[in-house]
Amino acid sequence: MTAPWRILSLPPIADEIVHGLFAPLGDAAEVAFPQTRDRAGLLAALAGADLVIGDFTGRLALDAEAVAAAPRVSFVQMPAVGIDSIDVAAWASAGVPVANAAGFNARGVAEWAVGAAFALCRNLARGDRAVRAGGWPQMEMAALGPREIHTQRVGIVGFGAIGAEAARLFAALGCAVSYWTRRRRPEAPATYRELDELVATSDVLVLALPLTEETRGLIGPERLALLPDKALLVNVARGGIAPDGAVLAALDSGRLAGAALDVFEQEPLPEGHPLRSREDVLLSPHTAGASVQSQLNLLGMVRDNVTAAVQGRDVQNVVNGLNPLVTRR
């Protein structure tokens, strides 16, 4: 009898949920978890794993050392869109396909981006804090220049599933929407612009692209300086794309009138970080995609892809260029 596939689950998801996902596989698979959520626990657990479900928190990084500790692994499924905690090239060199969960939270993140833009345009968080503190800053709030969102030119950097969904939502509100990505999308519900032109013509700049070596620092001080005065920034991508220091400098200069940030260079955001004390910044703990619907989508995608791997069928959303047909090593 063939030994069952050993599925190593790394994310902080309740054990019973993970077991339930793969119960239909019966004796064909068994689920395992690291004994400790640290480096030593990860490396020890990888030694006996055939398939790995990555850690969406990034704490248990699947880097080159992890590859060397995983001689039996045939497939890695990341339960997220971002793959910056995985050395995809190292896994490719080992012949192991890596897949993500592209699109699972596209609608949820896009809705957060639109909601955050609304909040910035009308200074909703600032008004809420002032009233809760006992104030009634009616005239002060009016003096901040609240805007109706349909008047705003929206630029979207990155045009995958999230960027495209955000473009549709902003366009439905009457916004003029433009986008930049490395490959133009003729079917896009938005106007393509080169990156510098996009930044220079965006009243609301939305970041929705993955963090890679090429995109790290992409929206830095020089590009932020191209923004129209009193522009707004919404970041649902990764903190390293628009470094915290550059965002703070743009806020101090007045180039940015406000920013809504779901992601940061260091997470959790350190205590005492200057972003925490700013009235012109809306902060969120990396939860833009954390809706009930997106979580159900995620679990379904992980279940279907890992099940396909166990059954020898093609897996979807491979990100490191390998043939998606998984064979046991």
Q: Please identify which of the residues 107, 147, 238, 255 carries the catalytic annotation.
A: 238
| Closest C-alpha among 30, 160, 8 to residue 83 | 160
The helix/strand/coil state of 155 is strand
d(CA 44, CA 36): 9
**Residue 92 burial by Cβ neighbours in a 10 Å radius (0-12, 13-18, 19+):** middle
- Would you call 328 a catalytic residue per the annotation? no
The vertex-63 CA angle with 246 and 75, nearest 5°, equals 120
CA distance linking residue 248 with residue 229, whole number of Å: 15
DSSP 278-315: -TTEEE--S-TT--HHHHHHHHHHHHHHHHHHHTTPBP
286 is catalytic: yes
19 is catalytic: no
For residues 63 and 72, what is the distance between their CA atoms, to the nearest angstrom? 16
> Is residue 70 classed as helix, strand or coil in its secondary structure?
coil
Q: What span, in angstroms and rounded, lies between the C-alpha atoms of 306 and 97?
A: 12
Query: CA–CA separation, 286 vs 305, rounded Å?
Result: 25
What's the distance, CA 214 to chain centroid? Answer: 16
Q: Which of 126, 223, 255, 286 is catalytic?
A: 286
Q: Which one of the listed residues 267, 276, 279, 329 is annotated catalytic?
A: 267
Cβ-contact 241, 218 below 8 angstroms: yes
Distance, CA of 321 to CA of 249 (rounded, Å): 39
The DSSP call for residue 189 is: S
Q: Under a CB-based contact definition with an 8 Å cutoff, are residues 208 and 163 in contact?
A: yes
Instruction: Provide the annotated active-site residues.
Output: 238, 267, 286
